Structure 1
Amino acid sequence: MKTIKGPGIFLAQFVSDAAPFNSLEGIADWASGLGYKGLQIPSWDARLFDLERAASSATYCDEITGMLADKGLAITELSTHLQGQLVAVHPAFDAQFDGFAPAAVHGNPVARQQWAVGQLGFAAKASRNLGLTAHASFSGALAWPYFYPWPARPAGLVEDAFDELGRRWKPILDVFDDNGVDVGFEIHPGEDLHDGVTFEMFLDRVGNHPRANILYDPSHFVLQHLDYLQFIDIYHERIRCFHVKDAEFRPNGRSGVYGGYQSWVDRPGRFRSLGDGQVDFSAIFSKMAQYDFPGWAVLEWECALKHPEQGAAEGAPFIDRQIIRVTDHAFDDFAAAGADRALNRSLMGIAEKPDAAAS
């Protein structure tokens, strides 16, 4: 059995132009001082990380890992959430998602997608150079505007969308396979992979690709009313990354799951800092231990109420308390009697009878 690694922290929500959050070394000192042991790095933020350089220079990667090791830190995974989103974008979201890409490809969906695919290739090679075996990303979405079946969807629309999504991702997954790295797709509303059924649809399109895996985040399941514990039972063999994020769902007589177009603070379903929501983390960490989850427990902080620095400060000890140091022997070994096959047969009343011929 494996003891989960952690606590880790996803840096995306904390990066800013103000010190210490404007450089990898500065934010690493801050995170280490809070008790974190791992950093999940947003690969799109040049203030922290040069993705293309990391893909081509083992020396650059060694410098980063060495600097972090001196602070008691390791890289948990690289993240390409923004670039992965751009692998598949429905035209309705073109203008909104252009901001995830360089200005040179704005207004040009084909060029933007090609840029995103190139970024994923860099991420696979950079992960290998950093000695990582898992990677965090989004799938993108072509069918999301049609998630509610009104007006009635044309026959085959969803199937065609997933066929195309699989066609786009299969060669990317092959590159990750060449580099020995699993892709953990965050199962997330707004992505075509937003629950177990849609993940299975995608997995079918990529031929059950061994590198097509899951980033598990229970907060998104609370907001969907999906059983986040049974999800682990069903998909544990594909879970490679883990965001520790809390959420709550408190419906009322005016709005429910869809939120009424309200801001996050007013929505019935909203993300919360760890311990402030409804997620049963004790049960989640127990299942992760039961199924030998091989990776890191990484805080993703998102809360409509609490200041991020307070959430980060509270997050490390919260995760540390949840991590189960797995046992290396059964609790009742002290009472074990050893193997005695003859005794076993006697206890069951099936002891060998004397040979009749010998009597």
Structure 2
Amino acid sequence: MQTIKGPGVYLAQFAADEAPYDSLPSLAKWAAAKGFKGVQIPTWDTRLIDMKQAAESDAYCDDLRGVLADNGLELIELASHITGQLVAVHPAHDQIMDSFAPEAVRRNPAARRAWAEEQLRFAARASKRMGLTTHTTFTGSLAWPYLYPYPQWPEGLIDEAFTELAARWKPILDDFDAHGLDACFEIHPVEDTHDGHSWEMFLDKLNGHTRANIMFDPSHFVLQALDYLAFIDHYHDRIKAFHVKDAEFRPDGKSGAYGGFQPWDKRAGRFRSPGDGQVDFKAIFTKLSTYGYQGWAMLEWECFIKNPEDGASEGARFIADHIIRISDRAFDDFVKSGADRASNRAMLGLEN
């Protein structure tokens, strides 16, 4: 068993163009004041980090960690959801995905993918320089437009999609391995790896690559009506990162899992601040602690109604209150009796 680290916070949803959210020093001060002990930095946000410098310069990495340390914070890991997404993009999504990439590679899928892969390699080098061992990202998606098709997809289509997805990630994962880094893929709708079956297809195509691991976020399972506790039982050995994000799923006569193209306040499935949704976090923290999860519990704040400042303050306290400090002795030690094999056999009525 293991005591989970935390509370940590993912900075992506809080970074903005106005102070105190517009630079790492000011955001670090803000996060510490909220009660967080560590941060996860989005690699694409140039207000917070320059990935090329981080990949090439020990001095830059030392300065970045120093900014955090000055505020009593640790760097938990770097996160590249947006760049990971661009490793595999179905043509139907090309135009909208271009918004994730620099202007120079837009309207050029091959150049956009090459840029994304370079950013991931920067992340591997930067992570090693900063002593990190995990990195969170998305797989991207080639098959997602065919999730619920009519007519049914032709034989071999899904297998081909996952073969290609794995082929694109294999050299990146090998590079991560060379730098002592685990890739923690967030199991997430719109990614081809969105549930247990799709994760297993991806992992199988990678021949069980040891650096392919999971970032666990239960909110996405609530919206799929998937048993997130049983998911931990199945895949705990691959869960290396954990986002604390709540959600609710309240279908009615007009809306279900697909949402009816409605805005967030009218969908059946909605993200909520921790404690405001339906996720059983007590059970999650218990399972992860019991299975020896060695990472952090990190707030990813997304709520359609609550003010983010309140969400951050409440989220830090929520995580701190849910972390289980593992006991150094069993609760029933006081009634244990000393015994040896001879005594045990005697108690069972067996001859010595």
Q: Same fold (TM over 0.5)?
A: yes
2:106 & 2:149 partners in 1: Cα distance? 31
Q: Tell me what 1:314 maps to.
A: 314
Contact persistence 2:23–2:47 (CA under 8 A): yes
Matching of residues 345-356 of structure 1 within 5 Å: 345-352=345-352
Amino acid at match of 2:250: R
2:253 & 2:67 partners in 1: Cα distance? 53
Larger Rg: 1
Contact persistence 2:40–2:78 (CA under 8 A): yes
* Gap regions ≥5 residues in structure 2: none
Deviation at 1:76, TM superposition (A): 1.1
1:149 & 1:344 partners in 2: Cα distance? 63
1:241 aligns with 2:241: yes
1:132 & 1:49 partners in 2: Cα distance? 15
Deviation at 1:149, TM superposition (A): 3.4
Deviation at 1:67, TM superposition (A): 2.0
Deviation at 1:93, TM superposition (A): 0.4
Matching of residues 101-140 of structure 1 within 5 Å: 101-140=101-140
Amino acid at match of 1:48: L
SS of the aligned residue for 1:25 comes to helix
1:339 & 1:258 partners in 2: Cα distance? 60
1:88 aligns with 2:88: yes
1:316 & 1:105 partners in 2: Cα distance? 38
C-alpha deviations, 1:133-153, integer Å up to 9, x for none?
A: 110100000000000132210
Q: Larger deviation: 65-74 or 195-204?
A: 65-74
2:321 & 2:109 partners in 1: Cα distance? 45
1:44 aligns with 2:41: no
Deviation at 1:338, TM superposition (A): 2.5
Contact persistence 2:186–2:216 (CA under 8 A): yes
Contact persistence 2:85–2:141 (CA under 8 A): yes
1:2 aligns with 2:17: no
SS of the aligned residue for 2:72 comes to coil
User: CA RMSD for the aligned pairs?
Assistant: 0.8
Q: Tell me what 1:30 maps to.
A: 30
* Gap regions ≥5 residues in structure 1: 353-359
Deviation at 1:265, TM superposition (A): 1.3
Amino acid at match of 1:51: M
SS of the aligned residue for 1:53 comes to helix
C-alpha deviations, 1:140-195, integer Å up to 9, x for none?
A: 00000000132210111000000000000000000100011101100000000000
Matching of residues 147-296 of structure 1 within 5 Å: 147-296=147-296
Deviation at 1:340, TM superposition (A): 1.3
Deviation at 1:2, TM superposition (A): 1.8
C-alpha deviations, 1:255-294, integer Å up to 9, x for none?
A: 1110001011110000001111000000000001000111
Deviation at 1:335, TM superposition (A): 2.1
**Stretches (4+) displaced over 3 A:** none
Aligned length: 352
Q: Tell me what 1:11 maps to.
A: 11
Amino acid at match of 2:183: V
Deviation at 1:329, TM superposition (A): 1.8
Q: TM-score, normalised by structure 2?
A: 0.99
Deviation at 1:332, TM superposition (A): 1.3
Q: Tell me what 1:357 maps to.
A: none
Q: Tell me what 2:305 maps to.
A: 305
Q: Larger deviation: 328-337 or 252-261?
A: 328-337
SS of the aligned residue for 1:350 comes to coil
Q: TM-score, normalised by structure 1?
A: 0.97
2:50 & 2:2 partners in 1: Cα distance? 32
Amino acid at match of 1:238: R
Q: Tell me what 1:355 maps to.
A: none
1:11 & 1:4 partners in 2: Cα distance? 20
SS of the aligned residue for 2:174 comes to helix
